[in-house]
Each structure stands twice: as C-alpha cells, then as structure tokens.
Amino acid sequence: MSTYVLVHGAWGGSYGFRKLRPLLRAAGHEVFTPSLTGIGERSHLTSPQVSLSTHILDVVNTIRYEDLDDIVLLGFSYGGMVVTGALEHIGDRVRDLVYLDAFVPGDGDSVSTLRGGGSPAGTELGAPWLIPPLEREYDNPEQAAFSRPRRTAQPIRTFTEPVRLAKPLEDLPLRLTYIRATADPDGAAFEAPAQHARTSPAWNYHEIATSHLVAENRPQELAALLLTLDP
C-alpha cells in the first residue's frame, strides 16, 4: 500500500482530485488532498497575508498531523512550488516526488520569476493583492460546468514569494517523475521543466495527451500511471 498526497494548483482546490481519489483508494492506497488556504474550499480564508509559505505549511501540517511516511507527493501546476518548498520540512518522509504539468523551482525561484516576470509585480502599497484565475480548457463540458464556478482569485504573495531548497532535487534521495500534458495550448510555462525531465537520467518522464487540468480530464489514465509507482 502507498500513501499519496496530492497538492492542487493555483485558483483551484482539492475538488480537482475528486475523480482521481476513488481510483487510487480502490487499488488499496491511502489518499490525502490538502486544500490550500485562501482558494478553493478554503477561499473564505483569503487575505493579503496568504503566501507560498502558508500553502507549504498546509501540506506539511497534513503530513505531520496524520503522521504520514513513505509518501508519493504530487504537485500539480502551482502545486509544484508548494511540494518543493515542503521538502525542507518533510523531505525524509517522501519516497516519490511527482510534478504534474507543474513548475519545478530551484532555490530562490518564484512563480513570477519562472514566468519571466522579473521583479515581483503588485507588491507595492495599494496594489491589487488578488490575481484572477486563468481560463483553462476541459475535455468534458460537464466537467467545465462543475469546475469553472469553483475557481477563485488567489493572493499575489503565493506567486511572488521564492522557494527555499537546500539541495538540488537531483541530489535528494527520492524518485523524481514529471508528467506532461501535451495538448495544452497555454502550456509554455511548463515546457522548460518538462524538457529537462525528458532528457535527464535522474527523472522519469511521462506524457498524457490532454490539456492542463489532467486530473479532471483524464483521471483513469493518470491513476494508472501513478499506480506504476507502487513499490
């Protein structure tokens, strides 16, 4: 039996894994999908103070309070920032680190810098602190009707705060996997980490032919791939 901790992306919530969770549990595994503060199911807690560090602690505390070990830790999209930052606190509990069409930051990177934004924008006095969600494509109109109204604006500090990573990912004693959504028209931000994983012997690389919201569009295909990580 494996323990999966699945971390959702920006503007979303753990509801994005609602079709994936039962598939992994049906195979006999434990599944945890922490909700990040200020968005999704916890959008009622939003504030200008919510940051990347807040989201890292959402995940770290789930793992610590549930006393989880030997984990398959997955970060989707922005969730790649969160799981990377969590390694400083719970890295010894992670067996497999999976980036699902996600940012793969190094020490000092933020979403803003990885997207070529240079200095963080929107942090000056009086600037807007909520970033509205990007439009995303869905394979199924019914899924789109469910998910689109649930996408919420996100505090800017989650995008401008840098990650801290003491060692490069390749130097850590865990297995690295990257899963690329190959049919995403807006996926340029994830091409660089995907290309690195595709060519590096330190990474396992996989592709799923769908748009960015892989867990919502192709839960069966994603579950089958994740189940291959079972030792």
Q: Could you list the active site residues?
A: 77
User: Among 32, 45, 5, 14, which residue's Cα sits nearest to residue 147?
Assistant: 14
Q: Which residues of 153-174 are buried (b: 16+ CB within 10 A; e: fewer)?
A: bbbbbbbbbbbbbeeebeebeb
DSSP 175-216: EEEEEEETT-TT-GGGHHHHHHHHH-TTEEEEEESS-S-HHH
Cβ atoms within 10 Å, residue 18: 15
